[in-house]
Amino acid sequence: MADLARLSGVSKITVSRALGDSPLVNAQTRDRIQSIAREHGYKLNVNARNLRLRRSHTVAVIVEMKPTAQRGMFDPYPLALLGGISQELTAAGYSVLLTTRQGATVAAVQAADGLILLGQGANQEAVRRFDRLGLPMAVWGATSVAGSHVTIGSDNRGGGARVAEHFFALGRRQPIFIGNPSHPEIFDRLNGFVDTLAARGIKPLLLKRDEFTPESGAEAVQALHARGVAFDAIFACNDLLAMGAIRAAVELGKSVPRDVSVVGYDDMPAGATFLPALSTVRQDWQLGGTLLARKVLGLIGHEDAESESLPVELVIRGT
């Protein structure tokens, strides 16, 4: 860099800024320095620069879920979130290191400048695990239990309440909830659902399911039928569970929505083309990802950042 400065007739800091496309160097000078650098085979050593600055300019994004054939990484969660995250971080000059919780112990994650965690885990286990890395961290999940962590999430309690109001307006009086409330987001959805129905004298039945897959939703409905439990409405904590529940209900001779009303959560594209088209609660994944990236960049820069809860929308379709 000192040689380039001498050849270009400028200071070393000007060379550094020019090679980094800094707006502090005018375009003509920047182009001339970069041209001289190419002629002499000089390339900026990003790793060496980051080592000197003690920065990697990388943000690790950890997906808490374990991808399976039934629940893949191509669903809106986490794909749409990742789109918002990647766009915002790339524009800020940061690289994105994507991994799941199984691969999150690699050295590259520990060397990142910050961390975005997609999912708090059952009983916030994932939050506690990755908090030990000591990195600036933003979390996607339930803001009601954010504590000392910066958390971006949807109004899960409000989503559950809207589903309850919808079922009550339809005249449904034997509702069930399918999901695992040990996850904070689902706990909030269940509480919003239960409290709203309780105010109307209705007590829903909880069917706890650890897996958020169509198979798990179908098994839940089959178990109800085997026990002889009557039901006329199903609120599933995600769309995959809801679609499995519909399939099982139809196979048992029930008509959806005449005999049973069903609402899922997340507004997956597959839900809109499902037969019948799935009613669901929509979250703004893209905005959520953008905000997660902005929050972690603020934390990296030692700025104050606060948790935020995003509004949801009940989408009524054919179920």
As a CATH number, domain 156-282 is: 3.40.50.2300
pLDDT of residue 90: 92
pLDDT of residue 67: 62
Torsion sign over Cα 75, 267, 265, 127 = positive
Q: What are the structural domain ranges in the chain?
A: 2-44, 58-154+284-311, 156-282
- For 254-283, the pLDDT digits (tens) are 999 999 999 999 999 899 999 999 999 999
pTM of the complete model: 0.79
CA distances from 244 to 108, 129, 234, 295 (A): 39, 32, 11, 36
Q: Is the confidence at residue 52, as pLDDT, over 60?
A: no
Q: Strand pairing partners for 309?
A: 153
DSSP 203: -
As a CATH number, domain 58-154+284-311 is: 3.40.50.2300
How crowded is residue 230: how many other Cβ atoms within 10 Å of its Cβ? Answer: 9
- Residue 146 sits at the vertex; the CA angle it makes with 89 and 234, to the nearest 5 degrees, is 100
Same fold, 58-154+284-311 and 156-282: yes
Q: Is the confidence at residue 75, as pLDDT, over 80?
A: no
How far from chain centre, in Å, is Cα 192?
21
Burial label, 284 (beta-carbon count in 10 A; 0-12, 13-18, 19+): middle
- For 144-165, the pLDDT digits (tens) are 875 678 999 999 999 999 999 9
pLDDT of residue 49: 52
Q: Strand pairing partners for 137?
A: 115
Say which residues have a Cβ less than 8 Å from residue 111's Cβ, sequence separation at least 6: 56, 58
Pair of tokens at residue 150: 């910066």
**Reduced to 3 states, what is the DSSP secondary structure of residue 205?**
strand
Pair of tokens at residue 232: 């006329």
Sheet containing 95-100, strands listed edge to edge, beginning at the edge strand earlier in sequence:
95-100, 58-63, 114-118, 137-140, 150-154, 308-310
